[in-house]
């Protein structure tokens, strides 16, 4: 039996530690720890990696601290457009949704696309209709709105900027925080899975889609080598197929997980101006959580161990 493990992330960026109160930091640490523990429990009980990552990302979507689901950022038109993807490393099946505004948990809609449709990616109203037909309850778009995110939109409009997540009053600067959540896991049967979800970018153009719902860019899993979930400059992660590149470097170049992650995150992404990070677990249970920004909300835990969580670079996990 494989030593099961799960890892999660809640975004990466340049951290303004001086503006993060100990109380606020503890809110993030507690949230990350609780979600890692929830994933560990599923794996400990013999649950699949696919179930573990789906539930972990659903919980991240439910937490307004993170830019996915409840607490998602606003587009330039004051709307919410949410994206998510999930992939099964055993079958290489994947499901994704993009630009949805009335699905409480986009990751659950993505899972339904994986399991109950012949497609991989569905968008907008069509994706929402499919999800409702499959039993998900539609919700009002206002469910995702928070006052903090609305004020962030007003500031972005005033400065005519497209912001990537929190503002200076939060632990990560708006210009350098990538608002994505994700999870990767290896279960007791040796199966890998990955899931990624995002609320997008503050003040982004309507219809913009980043790497999060794209297989191989922001999300990838293959039992042959690795499961990956990314957070960062979405356009660069798309252009480099960052998640799949980890798998390719392991398969074709014979690199270890750590070597492949280092190559992509520290060399290939920055060469194109890409910033951010990723979480990855290989089929041997090795864990990598690299990021080229100042920090990344992250955590991991092997079944039976206490969660290991961190925000800043000096909190090495």
Please write the tens of the pLDDT for every residue from 88-129: 999 999 999 999 999 999 999 999 999 999 999 999 999 999
Q: From CA 85, how far away is CA 87, in angstroms rounded?
A: 7
Q: From CA 231, how far away is CA 188, in angstroms rounded?
A: 27
| 3-class DSSP string for 286-300 | CEECCECCCEEEEEE
Looking at residue 20, its pLDDT comes to 66
- Which residues belong to the active site? 180
Looking at residue 14, its pLDDT comes to 58
Please write the tens of the pLDDT for every residue from 198-254: 998 888 899 999 999 999 999 999 999 999 999 998 999 999 999 999 999 999 999
Query: CATH fold of 5-157+172-306, please?
Result: 3.60.20
The domain limits of the chain are 5-157+172-306
Provide the 3-class DSSP secondary structure of residue 209.
coil
Q: Distance between alpha carbon 99 and the CA centroid of its chain, in Å? A: 16
Please write the tens of the pLDDT for every residue from 45-92: 999 999 999 999 999 999 998 999 998 888 889 899 999 999 999 999
Annotated binding-site residue numbers for substrate:
208-211, 231-234
Burial class (CB in 10 A: 0-12, 13-18, 19+), 163: buried
pLDDT at 306 over 90: yes
Q: Which residue has the tokens 């993009």?
A: 98
Annotated binding-site residue numbers:
208-211, 231-234
Per the CB < 8 A criterion, the answer to whether 280 and 246 are in contact is: yes
Q: From CA 299, how far away is CA 287, in angstroms rounded?
A: 10
Looking at residue 147, its pLDDT comes to 86
In this prediction, residues 126-137 reach a mean pLDDT of: 98
- pLDDT bucket at 295, cuts 50 / 70 / 90: confident
């Amino acid at each position: 039996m494989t030593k099961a493990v799960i890892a999660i992330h809640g975004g990466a960026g340049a951290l303004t530690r001086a503006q993060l109160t100990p109380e606020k930091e503890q809110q993030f640490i507690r949230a990350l720890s609780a979600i890692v523990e929830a994933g560990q429990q599923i794996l400990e009980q013999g649950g699949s990696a696919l179930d573990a990552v789906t539930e972990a990302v659903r919980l991240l979507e439910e937490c307004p601290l993170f830019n996915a689901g409840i607490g998602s950022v606003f587009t330039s038109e004051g709307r919410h457009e949410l994206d998510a993807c999930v992939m099964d490393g055993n079958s290489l099946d994947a499901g994704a949704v993009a630009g949805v505004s009335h699905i409480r948990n986009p990751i659950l809609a993505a899972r339904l696309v994986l399991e109950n449709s012949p497609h991989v990616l569905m968008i907008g109203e069509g994706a929402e209709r499919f999800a409702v037909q499959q039993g998900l309850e539609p919700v009002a778009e206002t469910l995702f709105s928070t006052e903090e995110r609305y004020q962030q939109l007003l500031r972005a409009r005033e400065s005519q900027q497209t912001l990537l997540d929190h503002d200076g009053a939060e632990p990560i600067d708006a210009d350098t925080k990538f608002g994505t959540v994700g999870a990767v896991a290896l279960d007791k049967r040796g199966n890998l899975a990955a899931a990624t979800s995002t609320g997008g970018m503050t003040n982004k153009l309507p219809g913009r889609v980043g790497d999060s719902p794209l297989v191989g860019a922001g999300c990838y899993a293959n039992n042959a080598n690795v499961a990956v979930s990314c957070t960062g400059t979405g356009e660069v992660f798309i252009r480099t197929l960052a998640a799949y590149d980890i798998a390719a470097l392991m398969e074709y170049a014979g690199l270890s997980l750590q070597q492949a992650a280092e190559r992509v995150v520290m060399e290939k992404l920055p060469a194109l101006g890409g910033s951010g990070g990723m979480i990855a677990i290989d089929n041997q249970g090795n864990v990598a959580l690299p990021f080229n920004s100042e920090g990344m909300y992250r955590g991991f835990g092997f079944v039976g161990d206490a969660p290991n969580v961190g925000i800043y670079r000096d909190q090495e996990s």
